[in-house]
Amino acid sequence: MNMLKTDIRILHAILVLVILFPLFRPMGLPLTITKPVKDAYDLVESLPKGSIVLHANDVAPSNEAENWCQLLAMVKHNVAKGHRIILVSTVAEGPMYSDRIRREVAEPAGYVYGKDIVVLPYRAGNETAVTALAEDFQGSYRADYYGTPSSQLSLMQEVKSMKDIAMVGCWTSGDLGLWYIRQVEAKYKTPTVTGIVAVGLTLYGPFQASGQLKGLLLGQAGAAEYETLIKSPGKGLAAMDAQSMGHLYMVLLIVIANIFYFQAKRQSAAAAGKGAR
């Protein structure tokens, strides 16, 4: 019964140790590639060289741990396949991460800014902003994130509407993917994949099951699976042993707590029975 009264700080400390151990000593626990991730990979593989890919990058510090490694993995794949990339954001912090994509992934691979990759600024308006972007892409962005007029960016001149985009990737902890499903996939049939934080499974799962999403990356596990497929280990894969151990710890806590809960319940029932006699 005392187990149920354990100081929560002790449980926190054990969780820290359980997560730290595999980060220092990777255990190589098995990782299964799930179908939604393989579908996303296959979609990128199927796009011809030079295709224009739009990444709706709503990565922010709050979801960086899960969405950033997903976006990085897919952009690396796009770059390896020679796809051209446009990055847009509906969160204020998004363009900072888009700028990192340009500096850390695209340009080291020989991408020329304006021709092969464009970083566009934050746009307020949520779903209405996505609708405006889908209908009049150039009208929605008169200049890029750095203030260069869109007329001077050759890649921007090729995109009139969503019909000119070969694939959309949404990286979010919220409803961004739903906005693109409703305003882009439904209206223009542009293949759409989404990378979400793990808690979004039940929100996006039905859209993946119905085929409205052509692929789905779920949390760090989704990123790790994608990194495995493109043979480029990153932070997602590095986190997987710690994820597995953390889950094992949670499962153990749930089982132990239930055992003690039912034991305590039985003891109190027995005590009540004795009292009645």
Indicate the residue among 78 and 183 with the shorter CB distance to another protein. Answer: 183
Indicate the residue among 81 and 143 with the shorter CB distance to another protein. Answer: 143
* Rounded least distance, CB 204 to another protein, Å: 10
* Rounded least distance, CB 195 to another protein, Å: 12
Are 225 and 218 in contact, with CB atoms under 8 Å apart? no
Distances (CA, A) of 66 to 34, 60, 123, 235: 17, 10, 23, 9
Indicate the residue among 2 and 210 with the shorter CB distance to another protein. Answer: 210
Neighbours of 88 (CB within 10 A): 26
Indicate the residue among 3 and 13 with the shorter CB distance to another protein. Answer: 13
- Give 28-74 as a DSSP string: ----PPPHHHHHHHHHHHHSPTT-EEEEEE---TTTHHHHHHHHHHH
* Rounded least distance, CB 272 to another protein, Å: 28
- Dihedral sign from CA coordinates of 205, 124, 83, 226: negative
What is the three-class DSSP state of 192?
Answer: strand
Indicate the residue among 247 and 266 with the shorter CB distance to another protein. Answer: 247
Question: Among residues 221, 228, 226, 227, which one has the least CA distance to residue 242?
Answer: 221
* Rounded least distance, CB 78 to another protein, Å: 23
Point out which residues bind another protein (CB under 8 A). 9, 12, 15-16, 19-20, 23-24, 64-66, 92-93, 121-124, 127-128, 131, 142-143, 178, 181-183, 185-187, 197-202, 206-207, 209-212, 218-221, 235, 238-239, 242-243, 246-247, 250
In whole angstroms, give the CA distance from residue 76 to residue 80.
Answer: 6
* Rounded least distance, CB 12 to another protein, Å: 5
* Rounded least distance, CB 260 to another protein, Å: 20
Indicate the residue among 78 and 220 with the shorter CB distance to another protein. Answer: 220
Please give the helix or strand (H or E) that residue 168 lies within, else none.
strand 167-172
